[in-house]
Structure 1
Amino acid sequence: MDKISIVVAVYNAEKTLKKCVDSLIGQTLKNTEIILVNDCSKDNSSSICKQYESEYSNVIAIDNPYNVGVSATRNNGIEKAKGDYICFVDSDDYVEPDYLEQLLNNFKKYNTVPICGFIYHDEVNRCKPVKYSWSGGEEKVSLGDAFKLNAELYLTALWNKLFDMQIIEKFNVRFDENLSMGEDLRFSVEYFEKSDTEFVYAFSAHLYHYTKLSENTLMSDFARGNAEDGIKSLKMIYDLAVKYNSDAELEYNKAVKNLKDNYIYFLVRDKKYSWKQQLKKIRGFSEKYTLLTFLVDKLKAVREKFV
């Protein structure tokens, strides 16, 4: 019987960890191992992990000897994994009971990475179901459409996918421990390149509950980046898409423009930086951005407060 390894990177997650692990223990698919890797949490997370390990034979609790970050923490989990397949769940999220069963069934049916829908929970616990939007149902999707997949969290997110451990081990696919942004995307892109497949399988079942990051989670420490890192991520997507899509360069240029526009929008409104610092940061990735344009954007930001 196929076995699935579930790697959970843990950091200061005592408020959400039990709900997360309970949802994994309660899976309809029983042949699993749950690998909890604690990255030197400052709260009670380590004790919670060890308590689960003592109560359940399929739970493995690991404590990093020192704080190494989310990428190295997940890599530590991969090294311990004994399953035929592997997935990654964030410690502040939880899953539906048939999360693993549906992912595995679709992997075996279509012989490619399956990607499920999810439910987004914001800071006041408002819920928004999200599913791949083209058909509204399910379909095999070419990686030539990688930019659209990326825009809908169907490429960059790890937690709505299932990966084949044979490919991960054969080609030593790992998280880049030198990245603070885009490490999930790099892992997915490397996996798809090594597996030499054109398609993924997107289906609409809302099996994963994704919660807005708090300031105390491992993921939030690495969720910040800059425009240069964002452009590098888009280049990775382009390198994947161009094999199957003659319009990939056009989509790449459009995505870069949108990314720059978004960074400018938020930087202009970021009170952590002075006006001089904001302008310097923007000019770092947009040389044609003028002082006049900056002042116009500042005026727009001020007007928003009175609308």
Structure 2
Amino acid sequence: MKPLITVVMAVFNGAELVRPAIASILQQTLEPFELLVVDDGSTDGSGDVIAEQVAAYPTGEGFSFRLVRHPANLGYGAVTNTGLQCAAGDWITFVDADDTIEPEYLERMLAAGRAHEAELVVPRMRAIDEAGHSTMMRQWMPQELVSTGADAMRRSVRGELVESQHVLIARSLWEQCASRTDNAYSDLIFLLQLFGQCRQVAYLDQSLYNYSIRSGSVTGSLRPSVWDLTRVHDYIRPVIKAVFEPDEAATLNRHFHLQMLWQLLQKAASEPTASQLRADVTSWVRRRIRVSDVVWLAKQRQVALAVSFALAKMSPEMHRKAYEGYTRLKHASA
């Protein structure tokens, strides 16, 4: 039976973490669907652990499982491309090996896509850190739960959409795109490329995806790959140019440039241990913050970014303490 959705899971040395993720996928209410696991050169037997867990689970005819192994660790972009090439479903989505999804996640995502005749479905997400703190991730939701691809890109560039591959993509759309393999933030580049090619985007106003933030992940720790953020705009600038008129494209490019600076700044601020890398990233961003940008952001009603940049420009230590206070407050209210 041809699957409606292919769920792609990348795994690299995740044998100790992957079981909850697999269990949540096996409990989906939608049928038929397939789970395609891409073992990205694991040396701890991750792929075998997953295969054993799937084999032990009583599933019906509406589920199929495939395991593809990379001969070496090629990175998330390569895993994405393997998934796009091997998927049998009419739709594809990505679930990380340390995340979980609620049982009705696939069913409701597909229903949203069909209801709005969309090529892409964007859900709300819940972030869970290592201490167990749960926070609803910031996400713009249009009133009608549908938008054009251009509007989704516009919102993403302004930092109003969660930027990840945890979306549902129609085959007709993904066959036009491929992921970068030379950048640690390939998921951000890939998503904006999808928006640029997409006619209609649907939104699921329910947090059925549980996103795990771990210190060892690309997003959860400060590592040298953070410098890849400085190259992301090079890939996005031509996408923006192809979709928008010159004046709006110039404005959106400025937004995106500042969003990338802000992400670098936040990653440095969230690193608890002083290091040369933290100092280098903070210094690099501070040299590129201009007073005119702070004023412009305030006029654009991007107050949080304006305040963050102003504090960092005045004192990195003051900015870091403000960030720590904000994080504590967010956890207390979760």
Short-chain TM bin: 0.7 to 0.9
Secondary structure at 2:136's aligned position in 1? strand
Secondary structure at 2:192's aligned position in 1? helix
Q: Quick one: distance in 1 between partners of 2:66 and 2:277? A: 47
Q: Is the 8 A contact 1:146 1:241 kept in 2?
A: no
Identity of aligned residues (%): 18
1:271–1:59 Cα change, 3 Å: same
| Comparing 66-75 and 213-222, the one that deviates more | 213-222
Q: Quick one: distance in 2 between partners of 1:95 and 1:60? A: 19
Correspondence 1:212 to 2:213: yes
RMSD, matched Cα: 3.8
Q: Is the 8 A contact 1:11 1:216 kept in 2?
A: no
Correspondence 1:129 to 2:130: no
User: Which of the two has greater helix per residue?
Assistant: 2
Which amino acid is the alignment partner of residue 68 of structure 2?
I
Deviation at 1:271, TM superposition (A): 3.1
Correspondence 1:273 to 2:291: no
Q: Is the 8 A contact 1:40 1:66 kept in 2?
A: yes
Correspondence 1:174 to 2:178: yes
In structure 2, the residue matched to 1:297 is 315
Deviations 1:108-149 (A, max 9, x none): 111111211111111211111236345578343562352433
Deviation at 1:263, TM superposition (A): 3.6
Deviation at 1:64, TM superposition (A): 1.3
Correspondence 1:146 to 2:147: no
Q: Quick one: distance in 1 between partners of 2:257 and 2:315? A: 19
In structure 1, the residue matched to 2:233 is 231
Which amino acid is the alignment partner of residue 190 of structure 2?
F
Secondary structure at 2:173's aligned position in 1? helix
Which amino acid is the alignment partner of residue 7 of structure 2?
I
1:240–1:101 Cα change, 3 Å: farther
Deviation at 1:44, TM superposition (A): 3.8
Q: Is the 8 A contact 1:175 1:184 kept in 2?
A: yes
Q: Is the 8 A contact 2:113 2:121 kept in 1?
A: yes
Secondary structure at 1:250's aligned position in 2? helix
Larger RCO of the pair (alpha carbons < 8 Å, separation 6+): 1
| Comparing 25-34 and 130-139, the one that deviates more | 130-139
Which amino acid is the alignment partner of residue 132 of structure 2?
N
Q: Quick one: distance in 1 between partners of 2:193 and 2:128? A: 29
Q: Is the 8 A contact 2:196 2:239 kept in 1?
A: no
Please give the residue correspondences for 1:108-119 in structure 2 after superposition, counting only pairs within 5 Å: 108-112=114-118, 113-119=120-126
Deviation at 1:79, TM superposition (A): 2.1
Gaps of 5+ in 2: 292-310, 326-334
State which of 89, 97, 104 in structure 2 corresponds to 1:91.
97
Deviations 1:153-202 (A, max 9, x none): 44x2111x111123333x3x221112222x1122223333344x1x4122
Please give the residue correspondences for 1:1-307 in structure 2 after superposition, counting only pairs within 5 Å: 3-55=4-56, 58-112=64-118, 113-130=120-137, 132-133=139-140, 138-140=145-147, 143-144=150-151, 146-150=153-157, 151-154=159-162, 156-159=163-166, 161-169=167-175, 171=176, 173-181=177-185, 183-195=186-198, 197=199, 199-215=200-216, 224-226=226-228, 228-232=230-234, 235=237, 238-239=240-241, 242=244, 247-260=248-261, 263=264, 271-273=274-276, 281-282=284-285, 286=288, 297=315, 300=318
Q: Quick one: distance in 1 between partners of 2:122 and 2:13? A: 28
Deviations 1:189-224 (A, max 9, x none): 3333344x1x41223111100010341689978962
Q: Quick one: distance in 1 between partners of 2:188 and 2:321? A: 36
Q: Quick one: distance in 2 between partners of 1:303 and 1:106? A: 41
Gaps of 5+ in 1: none
Secondary structure at 1:90's aligned position in 2? coil
1:157–1:222 Cα change, 3 Å: farther
Q: Quick one: distance in 2 between partners of 1:251 and 1:217? A: 26
Deviation at 1:52, TM superposition (A): 3.5
